Structure 1
Amino acid sequence: MEFLNRSHETQILTPLLSRKKPSFIVIYGRRRCGKTTLIHQVLKKGDVFYQSDRQESAVQREQLVKTVGEVLEIPYEAIFRSWEALLMDLNRMLSHGQTLVLDEFPYILKNEPELPSILQRLIDGKKLTYNLIVCGSSQNSMSEMVRSSQEPLYGRADAILKIMPLAPGWILDGLNLAAEEGIREFSIWGGVPRYWELRSDYKSLESALSHLVFRRDSILQDEPMRLLHDNLRSAIQPYTILTMIGQGVHRPSEIAGRLGKGLSGLADSFQKLIELGFIRREIPFGESIRSSKRTVYKIDDPFMAFYFRFVLPNKQRIDMGMGDRVLKQVLLHLDEFVASEWEHLCRTALPFLSIQGMDWDLASRWWGAGLNAQEIEIDGVAQTLDKKHILFAEAKWSLKPDPNGALAQLEKNIDNCKKFGSHKVIKVLFTRREASGSGYVEQFTPRDVLQVLK
């Protein structure tokens, strides 16, 4: 698969690696998001890329020395008893402007916890003549290492890049898809480039899911647990929370009740999962995140949402070799799952769409008891930045949308929901296929949504 996007990151890295004085750069992000690929895009011939592993420090230093010799094509067989001695000696081996990359840096730190203090001395003393990039998939440890004021490397990095999953629109380029199929595929794989690369090896979505997810020991069978172990000392409680959310338990009080714990006992796990991008907190439009008592949690990562909805509940059958039977049942319910992600993508896209030539704020759902005491939900609500206009949106994933019926239902819900002041109301429809014949001011399709989410 071709290298996609990352123009923002390359525009930061390229000048830093080309300037006269050496740079210290920290790159981190979840596994499989393309950190290594990005780094190789900006490295030049003669730069050294070292992939750390879990071996003892002495072995790691020996392997780095070997790697340097191989890259530079010169004999380099010295034995170093400390990382400081090795990093200082590399001033002799690497010329000005060359770069050393230490990938999976947390593996080194596990056996050499004093290395950040060593780097602090070398950086503050301007003793390194080459660029140094440290990279890792453990988001918590990498971020804390340079962002916590208590850590030796705080304030020392010339750039700190958190590599995020790719934006939804790039999946059309990555997998050569039409827009409707792009929504369907993104709802499963999310924006993780490695997942797209794995998916591209198969002719159909069904075949890809069969080989990558629904077979015993398939490459993505236990992906969520691996991601949690990358970032958390204990994955038991966060994994349990994800399991419950995936099975439809969204209110924090209900999650706490089922676990037999108080909400305070789950607060750290909720916060960590939010920071890692695995879940999101939702409140109804117009309510304060500090005071709202109607918080719900949703899985924010599409692949994790798919996994905890369809894979984990059927894991025993998959392990018994019945994965293809499970998959046939999953495919029958896939549109229902995709519809939920479609709604979320529509809300995300709203501020970036051209609607009546106005600037729109972030959109949220609204749900709750209407004026007639009946429960209602509106897929998307947003205000203009000047607070003069309000937008109500309906998102439909039906193959044959009924725009007039959807409009009638939306207008009924608008009349029945909480009043949001004297705003001019604008109604918007998102549909899987183009629809005509309704009173909506604006209508959008998957192509419109993916074009702005890129």
Structure 2
Amino acid sequence: MFDRNFEWSELVRFATYAGPEATLGVVSGRRRQGKTFLLDAVTRATGGFMFTATETTEADALRQFGAALAAHVAEPTLFRFSHWDEAITRLMSIATSGPTTVVIDEFPFLAKASPSLPPIIQRALDPGAQRTNTPVRLLLCGSALSFMGKLLAGNAPLRGRAGLDLIVPTLDFRLAAQFWDIADLPTAVLTNAIVGGTPAYRREFTQGDTPAGPEDFDDWVIRAVLNPGRPLFREARYLLAEEPELRDTALYHSVLAAIAQGNASRGGIADYLGRKSTDLAHPLGVLEDVGMITHETDAFRKNRSAYRIAEPLVTFYHAVMRPMWGDLERPGRAADVWSRAQPTFRSKVVGPHFESICRTWARWHADPATYGGHPSRVASGTVSDPGAKTSHEVDVAVFGRDTDERETLLAIGEAKWNDIMGLGDLGRLEHLRSLLAARSGAREQEIRLLCFSGAGFTQELRDMASRDETIQLVDVARLYHGS
């Protein structure tokens, strides 16, 4: 188990709760994050019962569940439940010797076939039913984020019934480098830009095959990602196919392709697809609900926002693989495709991903002294420049709060993966700082300037930063190991 101490401790706390009543917990998270691994481990550790649902009919699901439950309690004949009321009532009686962990994995499959199942579980947890219940510790798990997110929300039947609501997150870029055991930091960034922080992509999908260093990275991409005989090759397609909410997969793939090509606004996506902007409200909303994309408000203009793909492998697929899919399906063509895709990989995949890493660092890893205050929000944004009749992109904008709890701008930054940053880049940030200070009334020197670079900095810029603490240089080493 890697870096799941918090999740494990919460599961153990829930499973070992000593109360006499039955309790409910919910575990969710994107696919391939290790939810089943965690739940299987806690089930084994506590001698519990785990049932993994499949996409099937209600009658078949009840048959499978009855067979599994009978085997767990050593019943010589199978349980033949005619409806879920019977099954859940019997389930709540199995903890005869103390708290017993019960896991129903892929719960959305059961609820899809039997919409009455959540209300049935609600009734089983009501005070009246608790008189006959045993201390079952029931954990419902699923990867369908839209469904799982609504399970305890609003007027849902199970609202207020859960003693655990645990989301298993993706590993961030620092943890991903440790998990993949990549010592060379630029290689760690490039690898993270393709596979992100999904644990299963190292163990199950590549069987431990990791880039040995910068000289091995291209070969690793060819043999592990662009190889039609390896699981990662089709994984991005399967991620969409596995989402029950995504019925018209062609449309959703097209929307993701538009975003992967750099179209972050709804209007830009609509232009790319040749559709009206209003036609995209539903598909964008669904993709956001299932956790495939994020919708981020502009740092400086509340009426603007940007859509970004949440899973790096999906970005890589749509930017690099999908346009050349026919070539990639033929064995032996991956090296040629990868050679031709280098400019696209750098501009559409690595560049935006590096900016995202920089925002993550600025929000969660940077020392507050870097900004002269505690960050409360980090975003990207657009700054209008009336004098030049243009606008400028800000890759990193760090906000905090003053003593009156008003939001203040602490720092702005620019991120460049391939370019050595110099005084010209600093001058651009200084210009943007003056525009923002004039708009907000803040003193310019109160807004720090952050230069993020994967290639390094000129000596002139280093000398300037050494004399002025309001200028912060952040290289790859500082991203991964510093604050």
Category of TM-score, reference length = shorter chain: 0.7 to 0.9
Residue 30 of structure 2 corresponds to residue 30 of structure 1:
yes
TM-score, normalised with respect to structure 1? 0.87
Give the match for residue 52 of structure 2: 51
Distance 1:159 1:123, change over 3 A: same
Q: Distance in 2 between matches of 1:201 and 1:351?
A: 31
Select 2:152's aligned residue among 132, 146, 149. 146
Does structure 1 retain, via aligned residues, the 8 Å contact 2:320–2:344?
Answer: no
Does structure 1 retain, via aligned residues, the 8 Å contact 2:107–2:142?
Answer: yes
Does structure 1 retain, via aligned residues, the 8 Å contact 2:452–2:474?
Answer: yes
Helix, strand or coil: the match of 2:278?
helix
Give the match for residue 235 of structure 2: 223
Residue 4 of structure 2 corresponds to residue 10 of structure 1:
no
Q: Distance in 1 between matches of 2:482 and 2:287?
A: 27
Moved more, 216-225 or 50-59: 216-225
Q: Distance in 2 between matches of 1:207 and 1:199?
A: 14
Residue 340 of structure 2 corresponds to residue 329 of structure 1:
yes
Deviations 1:184-216 (A, max 9, x none): 221111121112323452243445433443233
One-letter identity of the residue aligned with 2:15: L
Helix, strand or coil: the match of 1:60?
helix
Distance 1:45 1:154, change over 3 A: closer
Alignment of 1:254-265 (within 5 A): 254-265=268-279
Does structure 2 retain, via aligned residues, the 8 Å contact 1:48–1:99?
Answer: yes
Overall identity of the aligned pairs, in %: 22
Distance 1:51 1:245, change over 3 A: same
Residue 169 of structure 2 corresponds to residue 164 of structure 1:
yes
Select 2:186's aligned residue among 165, 180, 183. 180
Q: Distance in 2 between matches of 1:260 and 1:327?
A: 29
Distance 1:361 1:452, change over 3 A: farther
Residue 106 of structure 1 deviates from its aligned partner by 1.9
One-letter identity of the residue aligned with 2:269: I
One-letter identity of the residue aligned with 1:347: R
Moved more, 267-276 or 188-197: 267-276
Give the match for residue 214 of structure 2: none
One-letter identity of the residue aligned with 2:114: E
Alignment of 1:89-238 (within 5 A): 89-95=90-96, 96-124=98-126, 125-126=129-130, 127-129=132-134, 130-149=136-155, 151-178=156-183, 179-197=185-203, 198-199=205-206, 201-204=208-211, 205-216=217-228, 218-229=230-241, 230-234=243-247, 235-238=249-252
Residue 316 of structure 1 deviates from its aligned partner by 1.8
Select 1:443's aligned residue among 470, 473, 476. 473
Deviations 1:294-316 (A, max 9, x none): 43423232221111111111112
Helix, strand or coil: the match of 2:401?
coil
Distance 1:97 1:362, change over 3 A: same
Does structure 1 retain, via aligned residues, the 8 Å contact 2:30–2:291?
Answer: no
Residue 417 of structure 1 deviates from its aligned partner by 6.8
Q: Distance in 2 between matches of 1:55 and 1:112?
A: 10
Residue 401 of structure 1 deviates from its aligned partner by 2.3
One-letter identity of the residue aligned with 1:25: G
Q: Distance in 2 between matches of 1:432 and 1:254?
A: 28
Deviations 1:299-350 (A, max 9, x none): 2322211111111111122123333321233346544432321112112322
Does structure 1 retain, via aligned residues, the 8 Å contact 2:66–2:78?
Answer: yes
Q: Distance in 2 between matches of 1:7 and 1:381?
A: 31
Does structure 2 retain, via aligned residues, the 8 Å contact 1:395–1:430?
Answer: yes
Distance 1:231 1:190, change over 3 A: farther
Q: Distance in 2 between matches of 1:314 and 1:160?
A: 42
The count of residues paired between Structure 1 and Structure 2 equals 445
Distance 1:139 1:438, change over 3 A: same
Distance 1:58 1:192, change over 3 A: same
One-letter identity of the residue aligned with 2:321: V
Residue 99 of structure 2 corresponds to residue 87 of structure 1:
no
Helix, strand or coil: the match of 2:447?
strand
Does structure 2 retain, via aligned residues, the 8 Å contact 1:65–1:76?
Answer: no
Q: Distance in 2 between matches of 1:340 and 1:417?
A: 23
Residue 171 of structure 1 deviates from its aligned partner by 0.9
TM-score, normalised with respect to structure 2? 0.82
Alignment of 1:348-363 (within 5 A): 348-352=360-364, 353-354=366-367, 355-363=370-378
Q: Distance in 1 between matches of 2:393 and 2:122?
A: 53
Q: Distance in 1 between matches of 2:169 and 2:55?
A: 25
Deviations 1:40-83 (A, max 9, x none): 23222421111111234344334334434545566453322223
Distance 1:366 1:122, change over 3 A: closer
Residue 54 of structure 2 corresponds to residue 41 of structure 1:
no
Gaps of 5+ in 2: 212-216, 466-470
Give the match for residue 379 of structure 2: 364
One-letter identity of the residue aligned with 1:364: A
Helix, strand or coil: the match of 2:47?
coil
Give the match for residue 340 of structure 1: 352
Give the alignment's Cα RMSD to 1 decimal.
Answer: 2.9
Residue 427 of structure 2 corresponds to residue 408 of structure 1:
yes
Helix, strand or coil: the match of 1:351?
helix
Q: Distance in 1 between matches of 2:285 and 2:372?
A: 37
One-letter identity of the residue aligned with 1:430: F
Gaps of 5+ in 1: none
Deviations 1:246-274 (A, max 9, x none): 12333312332454543333212222323
Residue 105 of structure 1 deviates from its aligned partner by 1.3
Q: Distance in 2 between matches of 1:128 and 1:224?
A: 43
Does structure 2 retain, via aligned residues, the 8 Å contact 1:376–1:417?
Answer: no
Q: Distance in 2 between matches of 1:114 and 1:276?
A: 22
Residue 328 of structure 2 corresponds to residue 318 of structure 1:
yes
Helix, strand or coil: the match of 1:146?
coil
One-letter identity of the residue aligned with 1:201: G
Helix, strand or coil: the match of 1:266?
helix
Moved more, 267-276 or 365-374: 365-374
One-letter identity of the residue aligned with 1:14: V
Distance 1:282 1:101, change over 3 A: closer
Q: Distance in 2 between matches of 1:395 and 1:314?
A: 29
